[in-house]
Amino acid sequence: MRCKVNILVWKNRVTQLLGVQYPLIQGGMAWVANATLAAAVSNGGGIGLIGAANMPPEILEQELIRARELTDKPFGLNIMLMSSTADAAMELAAKHRVPIVTTGAGSPGKVIERLKPLGTVVIPVIASVAQAKRVEKQGADAVVAEGTEAGGHIGDLTTMVLVPQIVDSVNIPVIAAGGVADGRGIAAAFSLGAEGVQIGTRMVCCSECTVHQNYKEAILKARDRSNVVTGRPTGHPVRCLKNKLSARFEELENAGASIDDIEKLGTGRLRAAVVDGDIEWGSVMAGQSAGMINDIKPAAEIIQTMFNEAADVISRLPHFEF
């Protein structure tokens, strides 16, 4: 028998859970993921997210209202649990009945307890098997398994080894993140047992994303080895593009500087890159997939092209005669 994979409709536990056309969630990128980007991704058939990060609650509320004006599709909120505004973000998710909440950089127990009874779908981003098992027990609806290829705050396992181990450890659906920027990556993620993908860096380079043009161009220019991880001694390693700031971080870290001094160097740097376009002394957070990104296109086109390519890749895998 000749096996032929012919996927025209992407329907699985993740599309059903999210109520969405494609099993794709946008990354909750601090300073980058605003209502404009979230609505563009949701209107393109994925789940767009607003990244609450350290946003003052009154600004976050405006963004939630704006997202509802820009799309009638479901969208989500990412809560960065290390932030002092995380509780306020959680309350705004409750007040505005945000349908999907992802969490990062911490333990989501409180968020699950508060939001699940309201019908919110809660999806923690995790970077190890122990974290995945814990959040499943706490009642998470799915997990995003984020490999170290991802941009921003990262764990240490690659997507290739993390995803299958998480798939084998939990019963809830697994969404793969880190290094996925085209249809080949989606096909690979599905081969590893994931039922969805989270896309960050690729979405920075969509036409609707409002980051400074310099930031987008830095990603377009990036090659395979343009990334570096800074801040390891602080316990919060961050992947970004190499620049003058990352070189200064390396100097400080090699000289055995105090955690305080390293953290001080990082203050306000993401905003400087995203808003002011200072890509030399700002923090240009981006994943290792930056080297694969060569154009800026509308979010909907990126999503459709990626999934068409994934279906094509899967259908062209060697078929075996049985």
**Judged by CB under 6 A, does residue 172 bind ligand TUI?**
no
Angle between helices 259-266 and 244-254 (to 10 degrees): 170
**Judged by CB under 6 A, does residue 107 bind ligand TUI?**
yes
Tell me how far, at minimum, the Cβ of 128 lies from ligand TUI, in Å. 8
Q: 128 vs 304, which CB is nearer to ligand TUI?
A: 128
Tell me how far, at minimum, the Cβ of 314 lies from ligand TUI, in Å. 28
Q: Which two tokens stand for residue 61?
A: 């509320």
**Judged by CB under 6 A, does residue 67 bind ligand TUI?**
no
- With CB under 6 A as the contact rule, the residue among 32, 80, 112, 241 that binds ligand TUI is 80
226 contacts 220 by C-beta, under 8 angstroms: no
For residue 144, which amino acid is it? V
Alpha-carbon gap, residue 57 to 204, rounded angstroms? 23
Q: With CB under 6 A as the contact rule, which of the stretches 123-131, 190-198, 288-296, 308-316 interacts with ligand TUI?
A: 123-131
Q: 155 vs 291, which CB is nearer to ligand TUI?
A: 155
**Judged by CB under 6 A, does residue 179 bind ligand TUI?**
no
Q: Which two tokens stand for residue 35?
A: 């209502």
Number of residues that bind ligand TUI (CB under 6 A): 19
**Judged by CB under 6 A, does residue 236 bind ligand TUI?**
yes
Dihedral of alpha carbons 78, 82, 86, 90, sign: positive
**Judged by CB under 6 A, does residue 131 bind ligand TUI?**
yes
The residues in 35-64 that bind ligand TUI, with binding defined as CB under 6 A, are: 53
Tell me how far, at minimum, the Cβ of 234 lies from ligand TUI, in Å. 8
- With CB under 6 A as the contact rule, the residue among 44, 48, 99, 152 that binds ligand TUI is 152
Alpha-carbon gap, residue 161 to 158, rounded angstroms? 6
> Which residue is at the shortest CB distance from ligand TUI?
152
User: Residue for token digits 């955690």?
Assistant: 259
Q: What are the residues binding ligand TUI (CB under 6 A)?
A: 30, 53, 80, 82, 104-107, 125-127, 131, 146, 152-155, 236, 238
